[in-house]
Amino acid sequence: MTRYTDTQLDALRELANIGSGTASTALSGMLGKSVDISVPNAFVLPMAEAVGSIGDAESEATGVVLGIVGDMPGSVLLLFTPKDAELMCGLLGVEAGSEYGISALMEIGNIVGASYINALGQMIGMDLEPTPPAAATDMLGAIVQTVLAERAGAGDVALLLDSDLVVEGEDCSVSFLLVPDQGGVEQMLERLGV
């Protein structure tokens, strides 16, 4: 199993922090509300443990996933609980669960995810492009496992950079996961010089 030092995890956490900072600015512009970010977590976990660390596998969630193509392939996954999805849709004046609701969440995912990916690319000097978003509302485990499975080819370890965006006054949050392909983590660390 690949191991990372504390310094390396700190560096990855810092990357996630700056990326989600940029993403929160984008979300704030879209919603017209101030958006705070939590201190990000960096988990390096055996794949089997990854889902459990995120939440109850059978709880309902809406996931919006964007692929990353370019120098460091990977995925960005945004997760909304049903309550958060409803609040978020309410802020945009659409009904959660309706066709408009899903496309509103996809658009949030698109804007937030793309700005995260762009910020990440700039920081590490890599050419990273987001692919168009896809969404699903289902069991949390099924959503997370499907995203991990796509990126699981090389190793048994998943790196999850996890931050929460909290929309002020509305107490709703989006969690954010960056799942790079296995080789991508080493590449990122190399660019960061740690």
Partner 1 sequence: MAETMVRMGELAASAVAGDVLVSLGLGSCIGLALLDRRTGIAGLAHVVLPASGGNAPKGSWKFADFAVPELVDRVVKLGARRPMLEAVLVGGASMFAVSKSSLEVGQRNEAAVRELLREQRINVIAKETGGSRGRTIRVYVGPNKVTVKEAGGTEKPLLAGATAGVNA
Residues within the interface to partner 1 (CB under 8 A): 47-52, 57-58, 60, 63, 65, 67, 132-150, 152-153, 156
Closest CB to partner 1 among 121 and 133?
Answer: 133
Task: Compute the least distance from the CB of residue 125 to partner 1, in Å.
Answer: 27
Task: Compute the least distance from the CB of residue 122 to partner 1, in Å.
Answer: 26
- The number of CA neighbours under 13 Å toward the Cβ of 51 is 17
Closest CB to partner 1 among 119 and 157?
Answer: 157
Closest CB to partner 1 among 124 and 136?
Answer: 136
Main-chain phi, psi angles of 47, to 5 degrees:
-50, -40
Give DSSP secondary structure letters for 71-113.
SS-EEEEEEE-HHHHHHHHHHTT--TTSHHHHHHHHHHHHHHH
Main-chain phi, psi angles of 181, to 5 degrees:
-60, 155
Task: Compute the least distance from the CB of residue 7 to partner 1, in Å.
Answer: 27
In sequence order, what are the residues at sequence separation of 6 or more whose Cβ sits closer than 8 angstroms to the Cβ of residue 125? 191
Task: Compute the least distance from the CB of residue 69 to partner 1, in Å.
Answer: 11
Extract long-range pairs of 2-6: CB within 8 Å, 24+ residues apart: 2/44, 2/155, 2/157, 2/182, 2/185, 3/44, 4/44, 4/185, 4/189, 5/194
Task: Compute the least distance from the CB of residue 136 to partner 1, in Å.
Answer: 5
Closest CB to partner 1 among 91 and 162?
Answer: 162
Closest CB to partner 1 among 95 and 138?
Answer: 138
